[in-house]
């Protein structure tokens, strides 16, 4: 059986990606490939990640289709190009989910947890942040900035730190420090949330993972900026 040429494989994969882009953009007017990439890049995390690669693939597609000869193609793609475009096709059609990554049971406190107990756990485990959960509902996220603001206030008001509860920290938390996502969210969405927060100057400290993505759903995981290499590794896998 004659082996399929890389050029033919490339065109098939490129056509799949182009069709997917039309679905993403709800394109009814048959815009060109580059225009589809430009439109989708504004809101689709996978396209944002691979936009430059896709533009280069469009140039290669043109080179292949415009240099066909009767028995050969001048612009025959390298095997590595086939691996790369197949990876992008797979990422668009079926990106890995966050729950495919190994996750430990997240540490959290409750409003009635003594602050000193939480701080001891921070010191023992090397934590710098943790969620507050009240009756299986996510309330907020305690961060180093939260603690600094609270400590300043306790010193000014001469509050007894030894007897303080986590509930006294809640007014010093910032809702923009975290986001809540469902366990089955795709990794590109999570990657883009961190990237967008840095661009906007919000700097998400943690993404809290609940069963169905609501604050009232059980907390099952916690994802921080230090976990981003796990996502990048998955995106770069063949």
37-47 average pLDDT score = 89
Packed helices 79-93 and 45-66: angle between N→C axes, nearest 10 degrees: 140
Q: 164 and 217 share a domain? A: yes
Identify whether 1 is part of a domain.
no
Q: 63 and 127 share a domain? A: no
Euclidean distance between CA atoms 189 and 46, whole angstroms = 8
| Signed CA dihedral, 34, 36, 39, 42: sign only | negative
Q: Contact, 174 vs 197, CB < 8 A?
A: no
Q: 13 and 36 share a domain? A: yes
Whole-model pTM: value is: 0.79
35-59 average pLDDT score = 92
Q: 30 and 148 share a domain? A: no
State the CATH number of the domain containing residue 129: 3.10.580.10
Buried b / exposed e over 127-163, threshold 16 CB at 10 Å, is: eebbbbbbeeebbbbbbebbbebbeeebeeeeeeeee
Q: Contact, 24 vs 38, CB < 8 A?
A: no
Domain that holds residue 142: 100-236
Number of structural domains (the chain) is 2
Euclidean distance between CA atoms 194 and 114, whole angstroms = 31
Report whether pLDDT(70) > 70: no
Euclidean distance between CA atoms 49 and 54, whole angstroms = 10
Cβ neighbour number for residue 187 with a 10 Å cutoff: 25
39-67 average pLDDT score = 89
Q: 70 and 123 share a domain? A: no
Q: What's the confidence (pLDDT) of residue 83?
A: 94
Confidence band, pLDDT 50/70/90 cuts, at residue 216: very high
């Amino acid at each position: 059986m004659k082996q399929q040429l890389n050029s033919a494989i490339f065109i098939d994969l490129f056509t799949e990606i182009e069709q997917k882009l039309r679905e993403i953009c709800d394109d009814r007017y048959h815009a060109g490939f580059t225009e589809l990439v430009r439109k989708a890049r504004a809101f689709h995390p996978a396209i944002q990640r691979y936009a430059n690669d896709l533009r280069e693939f469009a140039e290669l597609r043109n080179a292949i289709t415009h240099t066909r000869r009767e028995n050969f193609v001048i612009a025959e793609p390298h095997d590595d190009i086939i691996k790369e475009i197949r990876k992008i096709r797979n990422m668009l059609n079926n990106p890995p989910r966050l729950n495919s990554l190994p996750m430990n049971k997240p540490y959290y406190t409750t409003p009635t947890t003594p602050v000193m107990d939480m701080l001891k756990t921070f010191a023992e485990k090397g934590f710098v942040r943790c969620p507050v959960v009240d009756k299986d509902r996510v309330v907020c996220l305690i961060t180093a900035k939260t603690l600094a603001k609270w400590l300043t206030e306790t010193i000014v008001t001469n509050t007894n730190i030894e007897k303080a509860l986590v509930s006294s920290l809640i007014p010093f938390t910032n809702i923009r420090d975290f986001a809540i996502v469902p366990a089955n969210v795709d990794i590109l969405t999570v990657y883009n949330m961190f990237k967008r927060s840095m661009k906007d100057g919000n700097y998400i400290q943690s993404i809290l993972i609940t069963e169905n993505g609501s604050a009232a759903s059980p907390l099952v995981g916690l994802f921080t900026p230090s976990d981003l290499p796990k996502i990048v590794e998955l995106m770069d896998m063949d």
